[in-house]
Amino acid sequence: MLNTIKNHGITLAVFAALTTGLTAMVNVLTETTIAEQNLLQQQILLDEIIPAKHYNNNLQQECYVVTDNRLGSAAPHRLYLARNNDKPVAAVIETTAPDGYAGSIHLLVGADFYGNVLGSRVIEHHETPGLGDKIDIRISDWITHFSGQWVVGEQDNRWSVKKDGGLFDQFTGATITPRAVVRAIKNTVLYLQNIPDQLATLPSCGDNE
């Protein structure tokens, strides 16, 4: 009886060890696959904001951390620098519209350093479905209409919704949301014009991990 119990105990211990090892192996393999997929999805998103024809470096490997209230909050924001033959030509940067109807709206904005907008996407929001959520590329193409526009200084009044005399459409029943996004993109593009002078002092994303 004792030998039988002992043998069963050994079998269970071996089984537990094998199961634990297999689970650990699956976790490692899954984590690697998930990380690779996340990098791929990020690259696809970055290419939507700055078309690949504008640069020839690896955006994901040239990531910096910036902090400035003009980006909508005092929180750190990531900046991905685009270079063409090693010359800085543009950037994609995280930014925040703090005054959305339902809270902060988080965006990625791409622009060169002369006020020209290359692209933009909303990456997180809590706006009302059927109203303010038209800022989401999955709902409408509204956010794509910033591409090809430019900002001419702080007093560029074209950067407002049409209801306020500007260039950009508002949404029926939801003007606060597009106002917030337009303002955030304008402020971000103005901020990016100063980036080339700061590059030597910006910490890389890896320094903050």
- Alpha carbon separation from 29 to 17, 36, 205 (Å, rounded): 18, 11, 25
Q: With 80 as the cut, is the pLDDT of residue 8 above it? A: no
Shared domain check, 155 and 99: yes
Structural domain of 63: 53-201
Q: Let me know whether 72 and 121 are in one domain.
A: yes
Q: Are residues 115 and 189 in the same domain?
A: yes
Higher pLDDT residue, 51 or 8? 51
Residue 209 lies in a domain: no
pLDDT digits (tens, 9 = 90+) for 142-160: 999 999 999 999 999 999 9
Question: Distance (Å, rounded) from C-alpha 158 to C-alpha 146?
Answer: 12
Q: 15 by DSSP, 3-state: which? A: helix
- pLDDT for the residue 121: 97
pLDDT of residue 141: 97
Structural domain tally of the chain? 2
C-alpha distances (whole Å) from 60 to each of 25, 43, 44, 46, 197 are 28, 7, 11, 9, 21
Nearest to 183 by CA among 138, 135, 130, 140: 135
Average pLDDT over residues 106-110: 97
152 CA to centre of own chain: 24
For 157-172, how does the pLDDT look when each residue is reduced to its tens digit (9 = 90+)? 999 999 999 999 999 9
206 pLDDT band (50/70/90 cuts)?
Answer: confident
Q: According to the model, what pLDDT value does residue 16 have?
A: 54
